[in-house]
Structure 1
Amino acid sequence: MQKTVTPLPRKSPEELGISPQKVIGFLDGLKERGLEIHSLMILRHGHVAAEGWWAPYAPELPHMLFSLSKSFTSTAIGMAVQEGILTLDDPVVSFFPEDLPAEVSEHLAAMQIRHLLMMGTGHDKDTMDALHQAEDGNWVKAFLALPVPHEPGTHFLYNTGATYMLSAILQKASGQRLLDYLQSRLFEPLGILSPTWQTCPRGIHTGGFGLNVTTEDIAKFGQMYLQKGVWQGKRLIEEAWIEEATGKRISNGDGGDSDWAQGYGYQFWRCRHGVYRGDGAFGQFCIVMPEQDGVIAITAGTGDLQGVLQCVWDHLLEAFLPEPAEAVERSSELKERLAKLSLDLPRFEPRSQLEAQIGGRRYDLEENGLSLQGFRIDFDEDSACLTLIKEEGDETLSLGRHEWSFGQTSVFGGADTRMASSFTWRSPDELLLTIRGIETPFCITMGVRFTEEALEIRHRFNVSFGGDEEHPIRGKAAR
């Protein structure tokens, strides 16, 4: 039997006291800053006032949350505390006697669940690199083996490995993996269908990253927090936990204009203006605004997270009016703007005489950072088929000629993800490919310049954890 989901209720911005003009200003502000946003939802009084997706992103698509996953993990811990499965005072070492180092330091012994939640473990650097490098795939053992130079609770350090440990502890204490534990307690009540969560080599959900849900799912999560843990008349989590988790539990800076220095709760960031949020790399946001009775959900592909928040403060804070608005004319304009949102699709020349010469030819590539061995492209009237040749198997992508073509790809790592791709000719001998992972923040552009018997590929990711632009990839036509 297929499950049905009740979407969030909708009302016009005017009915909810939202200024259409200020929302339009927010959209303009994002564009002026050059911020790549993929989706937006603005809620007030439990209703959606404005929403939009920048094509080719779409409402039904899940999106990688990265560290916004942490806030969901924190919620699971709060539920487990509520059920008496564990307490915040429980020592971390008590759950993993078989994985402890030969000597347990005083600080490691003193580390409690609450310290994992507040990012106050006592480490002096993020532990994730050590976890990823664990040859036996035992991330718990790798975490416990690291030195803890500071007394737990006294030193803030953003530490994704700490959130992984919360997931591992929950699994140990409850007998359920994190995703399964939350299924009946959070996801099903909120109507979040088919969430997925990445796991470590030993099958424990990563906790600090790896969750994939839709924009409306993010908005529902934020609304549940705004409602102090109640959803459709049913209490999912205690109000006391909501207050504790979203309040300042540890100092992370001196305040000022940075929204990363206003204090940290239990996997939630404090913000300026009495706001709190969960957020993730490249602009995944769940912003909860208690004073305005509002929630803002955003997915994106940008490195300027502070810029996104600044646009919220500059435009959307004042959009929440004390009473219903009457800007009907601007409301119509806002509705039209939101319906036509799209990311720029590069369009230069649709065709080149070179297509007849290079179409169907294989080019063998030099060793490169993308692990590609060969390149081939076949042209059709309105599309092209790109074949990226790899040792583990060929990757075939459909490209639209000056329009998006949709399919699936593993170009962005891991399992196949939905993608939208297109091509254009920047010059008679340079082909420009645009490949978007539309369930991810990532987009790769490839400029492919052809000479008589060779090619050179210059590729760039819109966002990445490393450098944006890689070394050119060179290749020769196969004989």
Structure 2
Amino acid sequence: MKAFISIRTLVLFFGFLFCADAVAQNPLSLPVSHPEKEGISSAAVLSFIECLEKDIDAVHSFMILRHGKRIAQGSWAPYDETTPHLMHSLSKSFTSTAIGLAIGEGLLSLDDPVISFFPDDTPTNPSWQLKAMRIRDLLTMSTGHRKEPRLFNVESGWTRSFLHSEIEFKPGTHFQYNSAATYMLSAILQSVTGERLVDYLDKRLFQPLEIQKPDWDRSPEGINTGGWGLRITTEDIAKLGQLYLRKGMWLGERILSETWVQEATSKQTSNGSHPDNDWDQGYGYQFWRCRNNCFRGDGAFGQFCIVIPEHDAVVAITSGTNDMGGVMQVVWDILLPAMTSEPVEADPAATRSLATKLNELSLPLVQGEPRSPLSRKLIERTFQIFENEAGVQSVSFDLQDNDHRITLEMDHGRETLRLGNDHYIRSKLNDHLPYTQHMRRHIGASGAWIKPDEYQAKIYLTQSPASMIYTFRFDNNRVTWTSELRHSLFAPRNLAVLEGQ
């Protein structure tokens, strides 16, 4: 009897750990259940997590929904469940949703010519291809471009730049991934509603789904970028997936047309023929078709909203990885076969193991020593950094306790980088670190001596997939500082080595 009570108490305790965050959520947030009740074992979820940790560098968070209920969620430190994460191209699926809503309101149609919305930006003698381009061609990435128009380096006039770009194919006949086309959808929506995309969606999508109005990047003209730049939480991703899984219904109310959901998530254009490639299964309206009769929205470096209709499931993931296919493969190999149509038998040991794992999730720390023979000597030194384009004037170090500090004097002012040796320390920058301009200021950092004369700092920019590794090598009275920026689309590729004395 004592053994039974002990096990039951442990299960309840770990179950509380497992669901504590979910219980604290707004009551209109996604309801919570245990994996076994929804037809998937805790052991399978644990295996899913362990495979991600083993094979992928690095998943930041995940959430699994089954039958509309959260059965598991977790974030790897220094990431957390409440900080919005940059979606990159997963933003496109939200832009598509806005177009579906506008069509439902009679503001747009799929066959509206693109140039009809921008008479002042259209070339005097538009090509026949441009005149033939319609909203559906923007949605399906079949605008007729051989190469995607590059808007990022254009200081102004993004709409005009798109309309004046070369179009070589008949629209609707040639798939070419095209973030600029999604920007044009945002521009069209703003032109007909007088509202930015994010404001239009706030009343119609975000508020009904209990999603806090998010931040979304803008063009120089003040138009939301549409194809990228949205920042939301993992739960917000899952809610969009659940809305589409339920064919546009939310809590008994219709948010989005069922016809739109069906068309948006069906194959509208061919993008390849390889049966085992998740990027060759067809493209809808800013949604990808997947293997296993699934569909998804996704973004660079592993941002995913995977919808699995045949198993009534949604998997939301944020990451900082180059192996996006590997992330999906873990879903197909581990989660998909484990989903059953009926509840499965409770497994207290697996429940405890899963709860413990979820409570301890952390990305790998810098492996090394908390102090070095140089630690005490460095406290008395300030290194003046030679002339550089990174804006660094000087750097000083306090690297002898478990919580380390690196103080940077930069052109914009002082930045103090706090690093944990056996944990990540979360903090907020005053502005930016070297080579992280234009990125958000929330970070999580760890550091250690990897050699007696070499210290390494790992910094995750926790509102994005990006991370930075700084390595400092000390030799007599000099410091050599190398930088490696990972999983960032818009940063310089070749980062100069900094030196000082």
TM-score using structure 2 length: 0.90
Partner of residue 40 from structure 1, selected from 59, 62, 68: 62
Partner of residue 253 from structure 1, selected from 247, 268, 272: 272
Q: Residue 426 of structure 2 aligns to which amino acid in structure 1?
A: F
* CA distance in structure 2 between the partners assigned to 1:346 and 1:229 by the alignment: 45
Give the % identical residues.
Answer: 46
Aligned to 1:392: 412
Give the length in aligned residue pairs.
Answer: 472
Aligned to 1:189: 208
**Greater displacement, 339-348 / 288-297:** 339-348
Aligned to 1:330: 350
* CA distance in structure 1 between the partners assigned to 2:193 and 2:484 by the alignment: 44
* CA distance in structure 2 between the partners assigned to 1:395 and 1:119 by the alignment: 43
Asked whether the 8 Å contact 1:369–1:470 carries over to 2, the reply is no
Does residue 126 of structure 1 match 2:145?
Answer: no
* CA distance in structure 1 between the partners assigned to 2:285 and 2:74 by the alignment: 30
Aligned 1:202-213 pairs, distance under 5 A: 202-213=221-232
* CA distance in structure 1 between the partners assigned to 2:45 and 2:388 by the alignment: 44
Query: 1:55-98 CA deviation, whole Å, 9 max, x = no partner?
Result: 22111111111100000000000000000111111111111111
* CA distance in structure 2 between the partners assigned to 1:286 and 1:368 by the alignment: 41
Q: Residue 23 of structure 1 aligns to which amino acid in structure 2?
A: V
Aligned to 1:457: 481
The SS at the match of 2:49 is helix
Aligned 1:419-438 pairs, distance under 5 A: 419-438=443-462
The SS at the match of 1:374 is strand
Aligned to 1:17: 39
Aligned to 1:27: 49
Q: 1:474 to 1:133 in 2, by over 3 A?
A: closer
* CA distance in structure 2 between the partners assigned to 1:360 and 1:185 by the alignment: 58
Structure 2 unpaired stretches of 5+: 1-24
Aligned to 2:259: 240
Aligned to 1:339: 359
Aligned to 1:161: 180
Q: 1:62 to 1:126 in 2, by over 3 A?
A: same
Q: Residue 444 of structure 1 aligns to which amino acid in structure 2?
A: M
Aligned to 1:352: 372
Aligned to 1:403: 423
* CA distance in structure 1 between the partners assigned to 2:146 and 2:386 by the alignment: 40
* CA distance in structure 2 between the partners assigned to 1:267 and 1:233 by the alignment: 25
Aligned to 2:165: 146
Q: Residue 261 of structure 1 aligns to which amino acid in structure 2?
A: D
Asked whether the 8 Å contact 1:456–1:472 carries over to 2, the reply is no
The SS at the match of 1:336 is helix
Q: 1:270 to 1:72 in 2, by over 3 A?
A: same
Superposition deviation, residue 379 in structure 1: 4.9
Aligned to 1:201: 220
Structure 1 unpaired stretches of 5+: none
The SS at the match of 1:85 is coil
The SS at the match of 2:36 is coil
* CA distance in structure 2 between the partners assigned to 1:408 and 1:236 by the alignment: 37
Q: 1:180 to 1:54 in 2, by over 3 A?
A: same
Aligned 1:98-109 pairs, distance under 5 A: 98-109=120-131
**Greater displacement, 203-212 / 368-377:** 368-377
Superposition deviation, residue 462 in structure 1: 3.5
Q: 1:77 to 1:344 in 2, by over 3 A?
A: same
Query: 1:274-314 CA deviation, whole Å, 9 max, x = no partner?
Result: 00000001100000010000000000110000010111111
Alignment root-mean-square deviation, CA: 2.0
* CA distance in structure 2 between the partners assigned to 1:139 and 1:159 by the alignment: 14
**Greater displacement, 403-412 / 232-241:** 403-412
Asked whether the 8 Å contact 1:22–1:318 carries over to 2, the reply is no
TM-score using structure 1 length: 0.94
* CA distance in structure 2 between the partners assigned to 1:468 and 1:281 by the alignment: 17
Q: 1:335 to 1:384 in 2, by over 3 A?
A: closer
The SS at the match of 2:355 is helix
Does residue 418 of structure 1 match 2:442?
Answer: yes
Q: Residue 373 of structure 2 aligns to which amino acid in structure 1?
A: Q
* CA distance in structure 2 between the partners assigned to 1:84 and 1:222 by the alignment: 24
Asked whether the 8 Å contact 2:372–2:400 carries over to 1, the reply is no
